[in-house]
């Protein structure tokens, strides 16, 4: 267990110190910074105990839910959602992320899936329109997505 904690902490540090983490971010809102920080915690939590982590994420509380910020995770191989912190999108659990399109027809689900196929320490931004946890109306959103352990992809997004 101690080895898993050390590996998770080291992985989080690598993500935090990666070149993408220090990219030009002057146009970002405070929620963008919170979303990225939450994603780093998500990665560490999944590496320590993924089943417990997914259960926490699905409950949509604690440190993995902050206003309209929440975590989602998919199986990196089949694209199916294994965790969804948005109370207005629980029906997505078990659905293939690649099937999702926003109201304008943008296939953002495929972009999220593709982001989860990249190397583990790479964080990709995906922009789209999606329902908020606090309001079932759609709003512009950007999610930070990364691969976790080769088996899963997780993301945290913020609404603009």
The pLDDT, as a whole number, for residue 135 is 84
Q: If we measure between CA atoms, which residue out of 6, 94, 19 comes closest to residue 47?
A: 6
Q: Is 125 exposed, middle or buried (0-12, 13-18, 19+ CB in 10 A)?
A: middle
CA-to-CA separations, 159 to 14, 57, 120, 126, in angstroms, rounded? 26, 18, 25, 12
At 56, which helix (H) or strand (E)? Answer: helix 50-59
Cβ atoms within 10 Å, residue 64: 21
* Whether the model pTM is above 0.85: no
87, β-bridge pairs: none
Pairing mode, strands 152-159 and 69-75: antiparallel
pLDDT at 28: 67
* pLDDT score at 17: 38
Domains detected in the chain: 2-159 (3.30.450.20)
pLDDT at 6: 41
Q: Which helix (H) or strand (E) holds 109?
A: helix 108-115
Q: Per-residue confidence of the chain (160 residues) as pLDDT tens digits? A: 444 444 444 444 334 434 344 344 435 689 999 999 999 999 999 999 999 999 999 998 788 999 999 999 999 999 999 999 998 899 999 999 999 999 999 999 999 999 999 999 899 999 999 988 888 888 999 999 999 999 999 999 999 9
How distant, in Å, are the alpha carbons of 68, 101, 152 from that of 43? 19, 26, 10
């Amino acid at each position: 267990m101690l080895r898993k904690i050390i590996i998770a902490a080291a992985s989080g540090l690598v993500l935090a110190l990666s070149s993408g983490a220090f990219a030009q971010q002057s146009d970002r809102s405070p929620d963008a910074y919170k979303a990225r920080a939450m994603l780093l915690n998500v990665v560490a939590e999944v590496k320590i105990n993924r089943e417990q982590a997914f259960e926490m994420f699905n409950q949509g509380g604690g440190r993995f839910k902050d206003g309209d910020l929440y975590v989602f995770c998919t199986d990196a191989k089949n694209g199916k959602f294994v965790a969804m912190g948005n109370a207005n999108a629980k029906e997505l659990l078990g659905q293939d992320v690649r099937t999702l399109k926003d109201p304008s027809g943008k296939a953002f689900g495929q972009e999220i899936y593709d982001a989860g196929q990249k190397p583990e320490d790479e964080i990709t931004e995906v922009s789209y329109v999606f329902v908020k946890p606090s309001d079932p109306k759609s709003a512009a959103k950007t999610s930070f997505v990364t691969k976790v352990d080769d088996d899963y992809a997780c993301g945290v997004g913020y609404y603009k």
